[in-house]
Chain A
Amino acid sequence: MTSLLLTTERLILRKPDARDTEAAIAFMTSERARHVGGPLDERQAWRAHAKMVGHWVLRGFGLFSVVDKATDRTVGISGAYYPIDWPEKELGWHIWDPACEGKGIAYEAALAARRWAYEDLGWTTAVSYIAPENDRSIALAKRLGATLDEDADRPGHSPCLVYRHPAPEALS
């Protein structure tokens, strides 16, 4: 578990740690975080990052830091997310670095994370909770083959959309 690493053509997915703190806070305090509960102040942003790190210990899985092999920079997070108030396990992603948009980076990371969730964690289904106005994320969910699940429970009173991913057997 400690050495868990996923690699794709352009990316390394590894557990988040102190190397990511600065970039995580920069993202969560920016306007780019408006679809994912932000922008936060610095205090809240640090706590949010610490929560992502602690999630791995409490759940045994979590969101990976997505590292661009070419630059060795953390450009976002992608992976499995299941805090206490989530109705079911989620595949989530945030792209922190705007320069990485439009290059299929989020897609590449999410594909690897989903394969890991299905093959290594044994998930039989997965959803992504997406703010209705988050067009980029909705487009990514669709590209991943996920479809709107109108009947699924949502976290709390959130107005988010629930996209359900194809089951593992539908992908093999």
Chain B
Amino acid sequence: MIDVTLITERLLLRLPTAQDWPAYRDFYASDATRFTGGPYTPKQAWSLFAADRGHWDLKGFGWFMLDDGSGAVGACGLHHPPHQAEIEIGWNTFPAAQGKGYATEAATAALDWGWTIIDAPGIVSYIDRNNVASKAVARKLGASWTGEMAAHDPDCEIWAHERPA
């Protein structure tokens, strides 16, 4: 079974476990998920949580939980369900841990790792047109809007990350 751990200055990026469920559930029940289809009932959130975890075994990559020593404070990683045209890097930070730069720190590490395991020429981020905070993270990562919207979601802009030379 696949296992990956990434370490940044302040965060541990590790695969989700059953212990992360309460934090995950609470986040997905909150309005903070309004740009990604939420809020979700616990039943819906558990399906997402289990599917996020299953993604690792099906694809060899997936979403990490971010742990700052106090437990799960967010999630970040690469995913590629078949309805999405390209491999995506995504991130979220749970409300209590926002404003610390965790998303940028985690996504930088996840992206560095992504380029080493994925052959694709590019990795994208699909970001809701109104999700200002997420676009700011994308900019810090060096991504830029392609000017196009996602085929699977007309409200989502396609932001492209360039493979480092």
Contact = CB atoms under 8 A, between A and B. Distances in A.
Contact of B43 (A18, A54, A84): A84
Interface residues of B, number: 24
B140 to A, nearest CB: 30
A57 B82 contact: no
Contacts of A55: 50, 54
A84 B42 contact: yes
Q: Is the interface of B mostly helix, strand, loop or mixed?
A: helix
A55 B55 CA distance: 11
Interface in A57-78: 57-59
B83 interface: yes
A49 B54 contact: yes
B55 A50 contact: yes
A34 B24 CA distance: 30
Contacts of A18: 57-59
Contacts of B46: 83-85
Interface in B131-151: none
Contact of B50 (A17, A25, A46, A54): A54
Interface string A30-57: 0000000000001100111111111101
Contact of B51 (A21, A42, A50, A84): A50
A21 B81 CA distance: 11
Nearest to B48: A47
B1 interface: yes
A43 B53 contact: no
Given A46-B82, A50-B54, A84-B43, 17 more contacts: A18-B57, A18-B59, A42-B82, A47-B51, A48-B51, A50-B50, A50-B81, A53-B53, A53-B57, A54-B51, A57-B16, A57-B17, A57-B18, A58-B21, A83-B46, A83-B47, A85-B43
Interface of A: 2, 17-18, 21, 25, 42-43, 46-55, 57-59, 83-85, 156
15 contacts: A2-B1, A42-B83, A43-B81, A48-B51, A49-B58, A50-B52, A53-B53, A57-B16, A57-B18, A58-B18, A58-B50, A83-B43, A83-B46, A83-B47, A84-B42
